[in-house]
Structure 1
């Protein structure tokens, strides 16, 4: 293929109009409004560099003084104590609002309205190389990896300082020296009190160090599908992004919900409210008002010629499509198209691929969504296979919400990598999610799940066994409920996720997507979770090679969790309890303890002798 040597346009509006003229997209007034806002942001970032704003924050914290220090200098302390000025306490959002760095943008709107498309098009027009685009799952995995690496680095540094220090821990030798001083009377009669000088600088938090790594690699972050799910990941993400803003980073994000609804009904919401307010300040929201789902443009059902969503009974067509995609990736047949199973490695454990041929992998729905798999597993599959076949997809009822969540994570990973999918399901996509749900705005989670289980068949209560309607059978609703009316989860988090997954499924199984999708997997350097513990040890030179190579395949980072081989001491032996530590174990505490020291024996016989015996 020959590429044009003519300069490519970097103006977002020109790029958009060019795609409209070429017939690739349709003109939309609401998208033009967003394009103009993104153009203004592009002008602000034209000559921007975070190092010019706060270069001391990008230095090594061990050799530079940064404003995150918790211990002020003597000069600043004395001036503050003599000052009579009023002190204004600023909130987290107020502090970030006063930063003079460029603000980003948060693009919100319903699924399929074009948020990700416009942001990706805008990102391709930014000339700086210090930019990146990350989905929520990928960014969280990278942050967790950064936390682990920073923790290991600090522990190794602490162990080196301990080994090099002349002042060792308290041991028997030091104790004997103190006893000798006491016997000889060499100790001073009075100790002089010394005030310990304040440390010159404090150790930055781990979130600070992880954010510094991020901003050194890319100061412009496009964060796709901003969400706050579990409290641990959400808190860590909030801390890291807060430091990222302070260091001059710029975030442009997309979300199906406005900031106030991102963690509306989450656990411990008060802990994340400051971050939500900061997100509103640093990334002003721009709502896309269009209700049209552009991914479903031209969708006329699953009977469309060339669509890769099949129903039960089309097994032969399913296998034929998979073999076709395995041969047509490079336009020729080679040895890699041999049908076989494969094993991949994720976090040191094995991820089995039951059938593969070339760049095509085939799984049953249960092998992907009934097992304990997560985003890292799905990102690995999307990086190794340009086409994924999924068979035996059932109707996902309320009781199968865990499988539905995994299925959504799988679809998100495949869509981000622009993989092709071939699906064989029980029903069409729009009837796949929760056909047994009721359009009740106040349905409790446990109640909804209980209702779903009882709707499979009539299960009378014990008190109703002799009732006249014992044999009555409750049929499931014949018509699927619209996703807009579902509210079975707190905060409607899954409602948005299901709508997004449905929109993406319809697009990914369309003939147009199959023709135009360009596979874009994550790089091998990014997929750090695919390296086993031995590979990590060789890369960091921090741990010896395991004696048994099979241990590295199944320990699931157990050695990292136990900090094996990290320096002196490794891990102290567990304390051993003696019988003297537990009351009731010994019964020979002596006569001075009376009946208490004889335990139950003091009450078992009236002939028992002793000063503590009560039977005499």
Structure 2
């Protein structure tokens, strides 16, 4: 299997991305990590004769993960894509950090319910939860590592301490250096040992790319294409090629509260849907939140003008969709039947009133100020997702 650096160079050679020395340096470190993981995996296999040789008379040193941080749009998601594609580890998991922590809290709650029912013993759920997580995946990869919730902050030190004891290796991307995590948070002093633990078990690397590649691809380009027709369809194809770095993209699914949400096309943190995919199917707010958390840029093809009460369901879903994208500062490129203020035509129903806010948000989402914002979550419930699964 080609290593991460080779995959990166192949993208450069094909013209899908421009060469950036800072990105290449991080790709080289990810390749080195994959080499260490290959040996570490072999030593972990207790049934292997070679594992016996590894462990005989010496204890294997744990593999240090990577914490990659840098400004928005520098290529962190793309590099994580390449790392995951080239990783030799079979039991691996990639998730946005907030989704991972939502899963952890749900597991803790389930353990406490079993404790009340007398099905398990022990007062502290952290150790068994960490053991279960480590059994499922011993390589954990987190996109957009950030800590804003005190409930997360108060358990992270113990949780990751147990995960590291189980031999788990962690790779994460973030917009902030570890020392600034949970900055000004309540009881932050109790959080500081976790930062020290991360710095001990993860190599901290700053991705100092020369430019905001994402903004470079969007700035000066039309992101609201109207009217509908062959010209706007072609423009959407061009936008996809530019944003996906020339990659064709692959289908994927998002797991949301036990359901599967289909993603027709995705690559490098960008996803492409039709209006019918998103608003003519029975999707809800949690589904749209999962999409907003998983992708920094979303393309929507062929948004029609919605007329009358017979289109109120589609209009309501579209309102919820735009709310999720806007609140998480997701970048939107769309083709539509008309300008935002003329997309929903009805004189009755609450959707007509609510659509005024949606139209205002759509107009703001076209501005350079909005397009320059980092992909971020605000104080709202996280969708219970298990990450992106390519299909």
Residue deviations 1:101-142, cap 9 Å, x none?
111010111111111211220121112211121112221221
Larger radius of gyration: 1
Match of 1:16 among 2, 8, 11: 8
Is 1:359 matched up with 2:280?
A: no
Distance (Å, rounded) in 2 between the aligned partners of 1:24 and 1:281: 36
SS across alignment from 1:359: helix
Query: Conserved in 1, the CA contact under 8 Å of 2:63 and 2:169?
Result: yes
CA contact (8 A) 2:275 2:300 kept: no
User: Which residue is 1:215 aligned to?
Assistant: 134
Alignment pair present for 1:500 and 2:375 = yes
Is the alpha carbon distance of 1:219 and 1:247 closer, same or farther for their aligned partners in structure 2, counting shifts above 3 Å? same
Cα offset, 1:234, TM superposition: 2.5
Q: Indicate the RMSD between aligned Cα atoms, in angstroms.
A: 4.5
Which of 176, 183, 200 is the matching residue for 1:264? Answer: 183
Partners of 2:161 and 2:327 in 1: CA distance? 26
Report whether the alignment pairs 1:29 with 2:21: yes
Residue 245, structure 1, aligned to residue 182, structure 2: no
In structure 2, the residue matched to 1:232 is 151
TM-score (norm 1): 0.41
Find the aligned partners of 1:124 and 1:147 in 2 and give their Cα distance. 31
Map of 2:36 onto structure 1: 44
1:186-585 equivalent positions in 2, closer than 5 A: 203=122, 205-303=124-222, 307=223, 309=224, 317=228, 358-361=276-279, 378-379=289-290, 407=325, 410=328, 424=340, 425-427=362-364, 429-431=366-368, 433=370, 498-500=373-375, 522=388
Unmatched 5+ stretches in structure 2: 48-58, 237-255, 260-273, 306-320, 341-361, 378-385
Q: 1:300 to 1:432 in 2, by over 3 A?
A: closer
* Deviation, structure 1 residue 235: 2.1
Aligned residues: 292
State how far apart, in whole Å, the 2-side matches of 1:99 and 1:205 are.
29
Q: Distance in 2 between matches of 1:362 and 1:230?
A: 34
Contact (CA 8 Å) 2:329, 2:375: kept in 1 or not?
A: no
Q: Quote the offset at 1:267 in angstroms.
A: 1.5
What is the match of residue 157 of structure 1? 118
d(CA) in 2 for partners of 1:421, 1:99? 52
262 and 408 in structure 1: CA distance in 2 versus 1, 3 angstrom threshold? farther
Alpha carbons of 1:46 and 1:224: their partners in 2 closer, same or farther (altered >3 Å)?
Answer: same
**Residue 138 to residue 420, structure 1, CA distance change in 2 (3 Å):** farther
Unaligned runs of 5+ in 1: 1-8, 56-97, 162-201, 326-344, 349-355, 393-402, 434-481, 484-497, 503-519, 525-616
Structure 1 segments of 4+ aligned residues over 6 angstroms from their partners: 345-348, 380-383, 389-392
TM-score by length of 2: 0.61
Q: Does structure 1 retain, via aligned residues, the 8 Å contact 2:153–2:182?
A: no
Match of 2:92 among 128, 131, 149: 131
Q: 1:426 to 1:112 in 2, by over 3 A?
A: same
Aligned residue among 120, 140, 143 for 2:104: 143
